[in-house]
Structure 1
Amino acid sequence: MSLRRFLPDRFTCALVVTVTLASLLPCRGHAASAFEVLTDLAIALLFFLHGAKLSRDAVVAGMTHWRLHLTVLASTFVLFPVLGLLLRPVLSPLVTPALYLGVLFLCTLPSTVQSSIAFTSMARGNIPAAICAASASSLLGIFVTPLLVGVMLESHGQGGMSWDAVGGIVLQLLVPFVAGQVAQRWIGPWVSRNRALLAYVDQGSILLVVYTAFSAAVLQGLWKQMPLPVLGGLLVVNAVLLTIALLVTRYGARALGFDREDEITIVFCGSKKSLASGVPMAKVLFAGHPLGAIVLPIMLFHQIQLMTCAVLARRYAERARKIELELEADSATRA
C-alpha cells in the first residue's frame, strides 16, 4: 500500500504554510488594505471563470433527474443546518463560541463542484447528474447560504443577517458568475482548455482570503485563545458531522429506491461543503466577527472530507469491478 495516499496534497500544504505565515508575519495597516482589494479582485475573477466554464448542456442533461437533485439539496441545505442546531448542546462545549459559529456557517454552505464530480467519477457513479447537482448547489448557495446564516445567527444569539451582507454576496459572487455565463460563448472553449488557470485562481483566491483573515485574527490574539484541546474538539465536531451526513445520504438513498450509481452521486454531492465558496462568503457575511476562527472549521472539514471520500470512492470502485467480474463469469458459464 502506497504511503502517498495518506500524505496531504499540495493545496493542503499551501494552506498550512499560509496560516503559518499569517501567524508569524501578519499583514497590517496599508498592506492589509492592499491585500483586501487584491482578495476581492481574485474572488470576482474566480466566479467569473466558474461562470464561463459551467456547461449549460451538462446542466440541462442532468436536470431531468429531479428526485436525485432534491435529495442532494435537502442534504446540503436542510440536513446539515438541522444537525448543526440539534447537536449544539453536545458539541459546542468542545470548542469556543467563535469556532462553533464557524461550524454553524459550515452547515449552511453549498456542496463542492470539482471534488464531488471527481469522486463520483472515481466511484463509477452518475456523472451527468453529479455535474448538475453540484453546480446547482453551488449556484443556489449564493442565495440560500446568506438566508440560512441569518437564521443560524439568530438561533446562536448573534442577531440576524443584514440585507447589506446579502447584497454584498450578490455583487461579489453572483454578478461575476452571470458575467462569465454571458461571456461563455466567446471564452468558454478557452477556459475549458486552460483548466489549470481556473485551479490556480481557485486556490490562489482562497489562500489570499485565508492569509488576510488569519492575519487579522492573529493580531486579535487568535492562537492565545485557542489551545490544542480546542483544536482537537473541532476535529471531533467536524468528524461527527461528516459521519452522520455520509450515513444518512448512503442509507437514505437506498431507502428512497435509488440505484447504485445514483447512490454514489448522492453520497459524494450531498455530504460535502465548499471551501471555495465558503471562504469568500465568510469574508462578506462576517465582516464584524473574528473571521479566522470562522473559516478554520471549513478548512479542517475540507481536508477531512477529501481524505474520507477518497477512501469511500476507492471502495465503491472496487465493488463495481467485483460486480463486473461476477457478471462476466456468470455470462461465460451460461455460454
Structure 2
Amino acid sequence: MALRTIFADPMLRLLVGAVVLAAVLPIPAAQSGTAQGLANVGIFTLFLLNGMRVSRSEIGRGLLNWRFIAPIVLWVFGAMALAGLGLSTLLSIGLPPLVAVGFLYLGVLPSTVQSATSYTTLAEGNTGLSVISAALLNILGVFVSVPIFLALGGTGEGAVGMETIERIALILLLPFVIGQVVQGWTQGWVTRNKRHVVWLDRLVIALAVYVAFSGAVEQGIWGRLDPLAWGFLALGIAALLAVGNWGAWLLSGALGLPRRDRIAFLFAGAQKSAAVGVPLATILFAREEAGFIILPLLLYHFFQLVLAAPLANRLSTATHPPGGGDCAAPTTRS
C-alpha cells in the first residue's frame, strides 16, 4: 500500500507530526506542568463530547446482540490483554522496562471506532454492528482498561495510587457521564458541528502525544533504544497484529457468525484506539514514563492501518469471488 494512501488519514498525520515536533522541539521541563494542564483540559472536553455523541439507544441495541458482544468483549479485554502481557514478558529481555510494559498497556485498550467502522464498510461487513460494538468497547475501555492493566501487574516504574485513580475518574469518567446526561439537549449542536468536533478530537489527541513524547525525549528515548531494541519492538508489533487479526477471524468463525458479522468482529477485535490510549496514558503515568509506554501503541496504530486497507479490499473482493465460494480466512496478499 502506498504511503500516500496511508497518510490520507488526518489523525495519522497529526500523530506523526506530534512525535516529530516532540523529537525536535520537546516541551521544556519547566513548562511541563502547564502543558500537562492544557492536555488535561482538552482530554476532559474530549470525553465530554464522547458522552454527548454515543447514543444511549445504540448502547441498548448493542447489548441485546449478546452472541456478538460477549465474545468481542472477552476477546478485546481478555485474550488481547493476555497477549499483551505475554509479549511484555518475552520482550523485556531486549526492551527498556517501560517500553516492554507498553505492550501490556496496548493489549488492554479498546478498539477504534472510526477506522474499524470504515474498514468494515469497505470490506462489505456489518457496518451497523461495527459502529455499536466499537462504541460499546470504547465506553467499557474507559472503565475497565486500567483495572485490567493493574490486575495483570502493569504499573510502569511508578506506583498507581488513589490519586491517579481519582484523576482518571475526574478527567475521563465524570465528563463522559455528564455528556450522557445532557446529550438530549446537546445532540443537535453536536450533529451540526460534527466536523469541528472531529477536528477537536484529533487535536486533543495530538497534544497528548506531544506532551507524553516530549517527556520521553527529555529522558533520552533515542539513546535508550539501540538497533536491537528497535528490532524487538518491531517483532512485538508484528506478533500482536498477527494475534489480533488471525485470532479475531478464527474465533468469529468458530462462533458460527455470519460472514458480514465476522468482518465486523475482525476489525473491532484487532484494532486498538489511540483516541483512548494516549489521553489515558498521560493521566495514568508520569510524563517522563508516558512517552515510552505509548510507543508500542503509536507504532501499532500506524501498522494496523497499513494492514487494514489491503485486508479490507481482499475481503471485499472475496465476497463474490469468480466461480463462487467464500474465503476461509483473511489474507493480505496482493
TM-score (norm 2): 0.89
Asked if the contact 2:35–2:211 (Cα under 8 Å) also holds between the matched residues in 1, the reply is: yes
Residue 134 (structure 1) shift:
1.0
Structure 2 CA distance for aligned equivalents of residues 291 and 157 of structure 1: 9
Quote the residue 2:202 is aligned against.
203
Task: Provide structure 1 residue ranges, at least 5 long, that are not aligned to the other structure.
Answer: 327-335
Structure 2 CA distance for aligned equivalents of residues 294 and 319 of structure 1: 38
Q: CA RMSD in A?
A: 2.5
Asked if the contact 2:87–2:103 (Cα under 8 Å) also holds between the matched residues in 1, the reply is: no
Structure 2 CA distance for aligned equivalents of residues 102 and 2 of structure 1: 28
Change (3 A) 1:37 1:2: closer
> Over residues 166-210 of structure 1, what are the superposed CA-to-partner deviations in whole Å (9 max), with x where a residue is unaligned?
222121111111111222112212212332222212211111111
Residue 324 (structure 1) shift:
11
Quote the residue 1:221 is aligned against.
220
Asked if the contact 2:156–2:289 (Cα under 8 Å) also holds between the matched residues in 1, the reply is: no
Identity, % of aligned positions: 35
Task: Provide structure 2 residue ranges, at least 5 long, that are not aligned to the other structure.
Answer: 326-334
Residue 3 (structure 1) shift:
6.7
Q: What pairs up with 1:72-83 in 2 under 5 angstroms?
A: 72-83=72-83
Once the two structures are overlaid, the 10-residue window that deviates more, 215-224 or 87-96, is: 87-96
Q: SS of the counterpart of 2:264? A: helix
Q: What one-letter code is carried by the residue in structure 2 that aligns with 1:95?
A: L
Quote the residue 2:291 is aligned against.
292
Change (3 A) 1:20 1:135: same
Asked if the contact 1:133–1:269 (Cα under 8 Å) also holds between the matched residues in 2, the reply is: yes
Structure 1 CA distance for aligned equivalents of residues 30 and 306 of structure 2: 39
Structure 1 CA distance for aligned equivalents of residues 30 and 158 of structure 2: 31
Whose Rg is larger? Answer: 1
Change (3 A) 1:12 1:100: same
Change (3 A) 1:215 1:317: same
Quote the residue 2:318 is aligned against.
319
Structure 2 CA distance for aligned equivalents of residues 50 and 173 of structure 1: 10
Query: Does residue 1:235 correspond to 2:234, yes or no?
Result: yes
Q: What pairs up with 1:140-219 in 2 under 5 angstroms?
A: 140-153=140-153, 161-219=160-218
Q: What pairs up with 1:94-173 in 2 under 5 angstroms?
A: 94-153=94-153, 161-173=160-172
Asked if the contact 2:91–2:236 (Cα under 8 Å) also holds between the matched residues in 1, the reply is: yes
Structure 1 CA distance for aligned equivalents of residues 125 and 118 of structure 2: 10
Structure 2 CA distance for aligned equivalents of residues 103 and 120 of structure 1: 25
Asked if the contact 1:18–1:211 (Cα under 8 Å) also holds between the matched residues in 2, the reply is: yes
Quote the residue 2:61 is aligned against.
61
Q: SS of the counterpart of 2:130? A: helix
Residue 33 (structure 1) shift:
2.4
Q: What pairs up with 1:239-318 in 2 under 5 angstroms?
A: 239-287=238-286, 290-318=289-317
Residue 261 (structure 1) shift:
1.0
Structure 2 CA distance for aligned equivalents of residues 110 and 323 of structure 1: 36
Once the two structures are overlaid, the 10-residue window that deviates more, 91-100 or 103-112, is: 91-100
TM-score (norm 1): 0.89
Q: What one-letter code is carried by the residue in structure 2 that aligns with 1:37?
A: G
Q: What one-letter code is carried by the residue in structure 1 that aligns with 2:91?
A: L
Quote the residue 1:37 is aligned against.
37
Asked if the contact 2:111–2:137 (Cα under 8 Å) also holds between the matched residues in 1, the reply is: yes
Q: What one-letter code is carried by the residue in structure 2 that aligns with 1:22?
A: A
Structure 1 CA distance for aligned equivalents of residues 49 and 276 of structure 2: 14
Once the two structures are overlaid, the 10-residue window that deviates more, 184-193 or 263-272, is: 184-193
Asked if the contact 1:58–1:128 (Cα under 8 Å) also holds between the matched residues in 2, the reply is: no
Change (3 A) 1:2 1:101: closer
Structure 1 CA distance for aligned equivalents of residues 194 and 109 of structure 2: 24
Query: Does residue 1:27 correspond to 2:31, yes or no?
Result: no
Structure 1 CA distance for aligned equivalents of residues 232 and 208 of structure 2: 24
Structure 1 CA distance for aligned equivalents of residues 11 and 231 of structure 2: 22
Once the two structures are overlaid, the 10-residue window that deviates more, 80-89 or 103-112, is: 80-89
> Over residues 98-138 of structure 1, what are the superposed CA-to-partner deviations in whole Å (9 max), with x where a residue is unaligned?
11111111111111111111111221222222222111111
Quote the residue 1:331 is aligned against.
none
Residue 234 (structure 1) shift:
1.1
Task: Give the aligned length.
Answer: 326
Structure 2 CA distance for aligned equivalents of residues 93 and 110 of structure 1: 27
Change (3 A) 1:11 1:3: closer
